[in-house]
Chain A
Amino acid sequence: MRRRKTVFVDSDILVIGGGMGGCGATYESRYWGRDLKIVCVEKANIERSGAVAQGLYAINCYMGMQWNENQPEDHVRYARNDLMGLVREDLGYDIARHVDATVHKFEEWGLPMMRDPKTGRYQREGKWQIMIHGESYKPIVAEAARKAATEVYNRIMVTHLLMDKARPNRVAGAVGFNVRTGDFYVFRAKAVIVAAGGASHIYKPRAVGEGMGRTWYAPWSSASAYALPILVGAKMTQMENRIVLTRFKDGYGPVGAYFLHLKTYTENAYGEEYESKWQDHTRQLVGDYVDHHPVPTCLRNHAFLEEVKAGRGPIRMVTKEAFQDPHKETVGWENFLGMTIGQAVVWASQNIDPKHINPELTTSEPYVMGSHATCSGAWASGPEDCAPSEYQWGYNRMMTVEGLFGAGDTIGGSAHKFSSGSFTEGRIAGKAAVKYVNDLKGQQPQASEAEIADLKKTVYRPMEHYEVYRNEIVAGTVSPSYLLPIHGLQRLEKLMDEYVGGISAHYMTNEPLLTRALELLGMLKEDLAHLGAEDLHQLQRAWELQHRVLASECVTQHTLFRKETRWPGYYYRGDHPKLDDKDWHCFTLSRYDRESGKWGMEKAPVHHIVD
């Protein structure tokens, strides 16, 4: 085995992931923990990492309490309605009451906010969204985090968490490797905040070949948000609640500003409004949820899918009217240039000028995340002053593992937090982690040296494997002894697509399909022991794949457990096609036992703390 240097980094608080959640956690940890050593570790470069790397044209979670526009309770009602009744209201309320302060700080730091010329207030895109010139949103937020951190480590892929040898359910740090130098990193910490990314590329994307990278969510969101906590036995919730997005075709350009600000609307191929047509049909599946306002995201998808299945696609966005107004035309284009440049490229390449052509929409492949109109993630303790007792076992945003905190895509149940809410949740977790570290009073966790040595071997195994077996074949990518990361990824995407409700199955699955998916995932997991990585970049891809596969297994277990179709338009259980509030108005929880490799499933009650 090639010798790899081991670098030890000791800290009080370790933040894994330097996206919006991680930058918020780093900033707040420093504010409350002036003398603490705070380390942020990032797979890429925090200047441009995470889901906001490209920029954003809107902040989708802002109350406007200073102008009495909305109150935190209103946001809880909104998120609850959108997620068909099931959200952690305590977590959502907590984010909503703090999020305005976060946004005001962004403005102070230099983020250009658009203002309504008449009122002087932030320009509203919709009830919750405000418009920004956010090309440098991430560099600005990263600057604040860099000022706050003791050290930022870029280009380190964290692969595993470390546990305390004295108290088995207590976290003690994390390990990973430097993608540039190949050095092994051991981060020993008193508290760990996981703020890594959700999951793209666990389902086969619509694009093929080169276009595979044009997923809606960033291709570097590799499910570390879930795999890291799952591996150490943290409970996860609502992992079946994957999201499907209605977006502009091929580029996945966002539709929010188009619907809300530009007042464009959709129609079928024959110029007809179609959503209302499906209302009675949808009511038979989900009852009066379809009559709620606004109509939940999944149900709007559902009407879209039914209309396309009825042969009246493509669905188009009617832009021709709005785009006659030059201001609106500019907003429409800048919206893409600010956050989904690829959509501008698609339209330029296909001569689609929305002033003259109504562009096509599509529904995306599914994604698993915790910050959009969906709420998969870890089961976390809630705020001390308003979380029901069943949701409170320790510090705010602490998972069911001691000393392990989370924010952003990592934390389940708190939908609709988006960029500002993820940063805010990072801040909440940061303050709580400082409290936890202060309360430890020297009872520092100790990672086991044997575990560190074992993990070091495990982490580099794909490179060892490749080195040994590459000489077995003349050249090329086909080996009987190893799989390359892309091979494993494509097998994962295909099986999730076909068995767990992806695009080719029209998002449909059932118990026999899910059972078969688990068998195939089991074999894929066995094959991951035979991954081959020819260099450090491929080693990163190998570990991203490991994280995606574990998260996918969790998604499949949850989908099997929930015997109803709670979110038609996100996915369907063909054997339980209707929403069932009697048995399933609850959260689903899972826990992975790493010794046995078995999953335990249970239900947890949904407490409604807001009317």
Chain B
Amino acid sequence: MPTFVYMTRCDGCGQCVDICPSDIMHIDKTYRRALNIEPNFCWECYSCVKACPQHAIDVRGYADFAPLGHSVRVLREEEKATISWKIKFRDGREKNFVSPIRTTPWGSIKSPSDYAAPTADAMKSQELAHEPESLNIAALPALKPGQLKQGVV
């Protein structure tokens, strides 16, 4: 569903330009506000809608199959680690949903170089980083030579 931007809410900050995976949110040169320059390349992924600090971006379902009068609004709150949705049907019915988005603080992931450096033996093995511990089983599985069939069936 292509996005559009409300004139009175957008302050031209460019967060949507920065995040759009399709590179279709641009700043209009005359109005200094954001717009969707290519609605037919919009995946309605809502990345820009979620990123907009002014809640200036909304979605109007694709004209070729979505009748008017609906709305699917979202509020993504990183500090609360939740995402909230409000769905409004064309006939006015509403549904609301809230889901968690993260269980750890933002920025808390360790760099792989913060772990002890791997040994030369580990480098030669089939194990990947943090294995076998992170598999939660004793050892990385391997096909036994007897099991390994060579040949076209």
Q: Is the CB–CB distance between A28 and B141 below 8 Å?
A: no
**A341 on the interface (CB 8 Å rule)?**
yes
Q: Which residue of A47, A110, A342, A431 is within 8 Å of B128 (Cβ)?
A: A431
**A394 on the interface (CB 8 Å rule)?**
no
Q: Please, how many angstroms separate the alpha-carbon atoms of A609 and B59 in the complex?
A: 50
Cβ < 8 Å to A, chain B residues 81-138: 83, 85, 87-91, 93, 95, 97, 99-113, 115, 117-118, 123, 126, 128-132, 134-137
Q: Which residue of A lies closest to B85 (CB)?
A: A337
Q: Which residue of B lies closest to A142 (CB)?
A: B109
Q: Which residue of A54, A97, A98, A353 is within 8 Å of B93 (Cβ)?
A: A353
What distance in Å separates the Cβ of A432 from its nearest Cβ neighbour in chain B? 10
Q: Please, how many angstroms separate the alpha-carbon atoms of A585 and B113 in the complex?
A: 45
Q: Which residue of A lies closest to B153 (CB)?
A: A608
What distance in Å separates the Cβ of B129 from its nearest Cβ neighbour in chain A? 4
Q: Is the CB–CB distance between A136 and B101 below 8 Å?
A: yes
Q: Identify which of A207-215, A284-292, A509-517, A570-578 touches chain B.
A: A207-215
**B12 on the interface (CB 8 Å rule)?**
no
What distance in Å separates the Cβ of B120 from its nearest Cβ neighbour in chain A? 10
Q: Which residues of chain B are near A147, meaning CB under 8 Å?
A: 109-112
Q: Which residues of chain A are near B62, meaning CB under 8 Å?
A: 207, 209-211, 213-214, 342
Give the most central of A30, A219, A345, A424: most B CB within 10 Å. Answer: A345
Q: Which residue of B lies closest to A249 (CB)?
A: B65
Q: Please, how many angstroms separate the alpha-carbon atoms of A175 and B45 in the complex?
A: 29
**A351 on the interface (CB 8 Å rule)?**
yes
Q: Is the CB–CB distance between B101 and A112 below 8 Å?
A: yes
**A135 on the interface (CB 8 Å rule)?**
yes
Q: Is the CB–CB distance between B40 and A212 below 8 Å?
A: yes
**B53 on the interface (CB 8 Å rule)?**
no
Q: Is the CB–CB distance between B99 and A133 below 8 Å?
A: yes
**A478 on the interface (CB 8 Å rule)?**
no
**A602 on the interface (CB 8 Å rule)?**
no
Q: Please, how many angstroms separate the alpha-carbon atoms of A610 and B148 in the complex?
A: 7
Q: Is the CB–CB distance between B72 and A133 below 8 Å?
A: no
Q: Which residues of chain B are near A341, meaning CB under 8 Å?
A: 1, 44-46, 59, 72, 74
Q: Is the CB–CB distance between A345 and B59 below 8 Å?
A: yes
**A220 on the interface (CB 8 Å rule)?**
yes
Q: Is the CB–CB distance between B131 and A386 below 8 Å?
A: no
Q: Which residues of chain A are near B129, meaning CB under 8 Å?
A: 27-28, 31-32, 427, 431
Q: Is the CB–CB distance between B97 and A334 below 8 Å?
A: yes
What distance in Å separates the Cβ of B124 from its nearest Cβ neighbour in chain A? 9
- Tier of interface size on chain A: 35 or more
Q: Which residues of chain B are near A508, meaning CB under 8 Å?
A: none
Q: Is the CB–CB distance between B153 and A606 below 8 Å?
A: yes
Q: Which residues of chain A are near B59, meaning CB under 8 Å?
A: 341, 345
Q: Please, how many angstroms separate the alpha-carbon atoms of A110 and B107 in the complex?
A: 10
**B56 on the interface (CB 8 Å rule)?**
no
Give the most central of B37, B109, B111: most A CB within 10 Å. Answer: B109
Cβ < 8 Å to B, chain A residues 554-611: 585, 605-611
What distance in Å separates the Cβ of B73 from its nearest Cβ neighbour in chain A? 11
Q: A97-B142, A135-B76, A386-B143 are in contact. Are A209 and B64 (CB under 8 A)?
A: yes
Q: Which residue of B lies closest to A24 (CB)?
A: B128
Q: Which residue of A lies closest to B22 (CB)?
A: A220
**B70 on the interface (CB 8 Å rule)?**
yes
What distance in Å separates the Cβ of B18 from its nearest Cβ neighbour in chain A? 6
Q: Please, how many angstroms separate the alpha-carbon atoms of A427 and B93 in the complex?
A: 46
Q: Please, how many angstroms separate the alpha-carbon atoms of A10 and B90 in the complex?
A: 55
**A383 on the interface (CB 8 Å rule)?**
yes
What distance in Å separates the Cβ of A31 from its nearest Cβ neighbour in chain B? 4
Q: Which residue of A lies closest to B76 (CB)?
A: A135
Q: Is the CB–CB distance between B149 and A607 below 8 Å?
A: yes
Cβ < 8 Å to B, chain A residues 321-347: 330, 333-334, 337-338, 341-342, 344-347
Q: Which residues of chain B are near A342, meaning CB under 8 Å?
A: 1, 43-44, 61-62
In the complex, how many residue pairs between chain A and chain B have their CB atoms under 8 Å apart? 278
What distance in Å separates the Cβ of A176 from its nearest Cβ neighbour in chain B? 14
Q: A349-B66, A537-B37, A608-B149 are in contact. Are A135 and B90 (CB under 8 A)?
A: no
Q: Which residue of A lies closest to B39 (CB)?
A: A210
Q: Is the CB–CB distance between B65 and A250 below 8 Å?
A: yes
Q: Which residues of chain A are near B45, meaning CB under 8 Å?
A: 48, 53-54, 218, 341
Interface of A is mostly: helix
**A45 on the interface (CB 8 Å rule)?**
yes
What distance in Å separates the Cβ of B98 from its nearest Cβ neighbour in chain A? 9
What distance in Å separates the Cβ of B7 from its nearest Cβ neighbour in chain A? 20
Q: Is the CB–CB distance between A333 and B97 below 8 Å?
A: yes
Q: Which residue of A101, A344, A386, A435 is within 8 Å of B148 (Cβ)?
A: A386
**B6 on the interface (CB 8 Å rule)?**
no
**B23 on the interface (CB 8 Å rule)?**
yes
Cβ < 8 Å to B, chain A residues 69-102: 71-73, 93, 97-98, 100-101
Q: Is the CB–CB distance between B140 and A97 below 8 Å?
A: yes
Q: Which residue of B87, B102, B103, B134 is within 8 Å of A105 (Cβ)?
A: B134
Q: Please, how many angstroms separate the alpha-carbon atoms of A98 and B137 in the complex?
A: 11
Give the most central of B39, B150, B152: most A CB within 10 Å. Answer: B152
**A140 on the interface (CB 8 Å rule)?**
yes
**B26 on the interface (CB 8 Å rule)?**
yes
Q: Is the CB–CB distance between A213 and B40 below 8 Å?
A: yes
Q: Which residues of chain B are near A32, meaning CB under 8 Å?
A: 118, 123, 129
Give the most central of B20, B99, B118, B130: most A CB within 10 Å. Answer: B99
Q: Please, how many angstroms separate the alpha-carbon atoms of A537 and B28 in the complex?
A: 14
Q: Which residue of A93, A351, A424 is within 8 Å of B91 (Cβ)?
A: A351
Q: A136-B101, A349-B69 are in contact. Are A213 and B130 (CB under 8 A)?
A: no
**A179 on the interface (CB 8 Å rule)?**
yes
**A111 on the interface (CB 8 Å rule)?**
yes
What distance in Å separates the Cβ of B76 from its nearest Cβ neighbour in chain A? 7
**A268 on the interface (CB 8 Å rule)?**
no
Q: Is the CB–CB distance between B72 and A344 below 8 Å?
A: yes
Q: Please, how many angstroms separate the alpha-carbon atoms of A578 and B90 in the complex?
A: 47
Q: Please, how many angstroms separate the alpha-carbon atoms of A511 and B31 in the complex?
A: 54
Q: Is the CB–CB distance between B106 and A143 below 8 Å?
A: yes
Q: A218-B43, A605-B152 are in contact. Are A350 and B134 (CB under 8 A)?
A: no
Q: A30-B111, A34-B117, A428-B128 are in contact. Are A133 and B65 (CB under 8 A)?
A: no
Q: Which residue of B lies closest to A346 (CB)?
A: B66
Q: Is the CB–CB distance between A333 and B87 below 8 Å?
A: yes
Q: Which residue of B lies closest to A427 (CB)?
A: B128
Q: Which residues of chain A are near B110, meaning CB under 8 Å?
A: 147
Q: Which residues of chain A are near B10, meaning CB under 8 Å?
A: none
Q: Is the CB–CB distance between B126 and A211 below 8 Å?
A: no
Q: Which residue of B20, B91, B153 is within 8 Å of A44 (Cβ)?
A: B20
- Top 10 closest A-B pairs, CB basis? A110-B104, A211-B62, A31-B112, A66-B136, A348-B70, A31-B129, A349-B66, A349-B70, A54-B45, A147-B111
Q: What would 15 A/B residue contacts be, using CB atoms closer than 8 Å?
A: A27-B112, A28-B128, A105-B134, A110-B102, A110-B104, A135-B83, A135-B99, A209-B64, A338-B99, A341-B45, A537-B37, A537-B38, A607-B152, A609-B148, A611-B149
